[in-house]
Amino acid sequence: MNRPILLMLTAALLAGCTDTSTPDNTGGNGNTGGTDTVPTLPAGTLPTVGAAPETGPGPSKVRVSPTADDLAVMAYTNEFRTKGTVRGIDPTKTGLSVEDMAATKKCLTDTNWKPNVLNALNFNGVAHAAATSHALYLQTHGYHADGNPHSESSQRSNFTGVTAVDRFAAANKRYAAGETSTFVGENVLVGYYDDDSLNNDAPSRFHDNALYAVLGWIGSYGHCVNMLDAAYTDMGASYLNPTPVVDDPYNPSITPWKMIGAQIFVKR
């Protein structure tokens, strides 16, 4: 069984990479097998798949055209925040390993989660651009290239900021967005799931990249807590389905990679 590697970063009260590719409405950043449709968002705002840059209102203005997988990660995150399910799956009962289901239950208990209490997160164009740039960096250089998957090196290509705070600020400057939101957290994921790697085979039948990514974060206690923070108002997420898949010389046990994901949470 292969499971993704996940890292999180939270930075309370702390103060890009331009996409020139043709948007792919099937998801997967130009690769096949991506999320086929974007789930209905419980609340908040989402642009359409492949929305053109510089469209949309205020902080939700698109800076990098989003894929179906990008938006599905956000929709599933909002479904979990508001309903406790992901594509209708209760991750405390199915869809995860026994260990991960226990971690999810503890997360929900410790955060005092209740249905329909947390706000759904709005799409944030600057956060999405920052998440996309970091996912591209990880795809290019590897998850452990700089010792910390939340870090980037200025000596490498696709560099947009050493820390997530730096990348958010750089994207804000790059697009002259005037964004006043505050960065508060980042989740990162890389790896892949086989069809038999989940406790229940129902999720596998969806062939849904974003579902696997969000279930991976939910099944990790710290990432789950990060996703349920009541202080968050906005989010940007990026999901890459590398072709060819990426080998990581620093950790060959998880190669080849078939998914790379990043979430950036902000508050206004």
Whether 230 shows a pLDDT value over 70: the answer reads yes
Amino acid 149: pLDDT: 78
Query: How many Å apart are CA 266 and CA 149, to the nearest integer?
Result: 19
pTM, two decimal places: 0.80
> For 42-86, how does the pLDDT look when each residue is reduced to its tens digit (9 = 90+)?
445 789 999 999 999 999 999 999 999 999 999 999 999 999 999
Whether 263 shows a pLDDT value over 50: the answer reads yes
Whether the Cβ atoms of residue 170 and residue 160 lie closer than 8 Å to each other: yes
Amino acid 213: pLDDT: 87
Whether 201 shows a pLDDT value over 70: the answer reads no
Amino acid 193: pLDDT: 54
Whether the Cβ atoms of residue 73 and residue 46 lie closer than 8 Å to each other: no
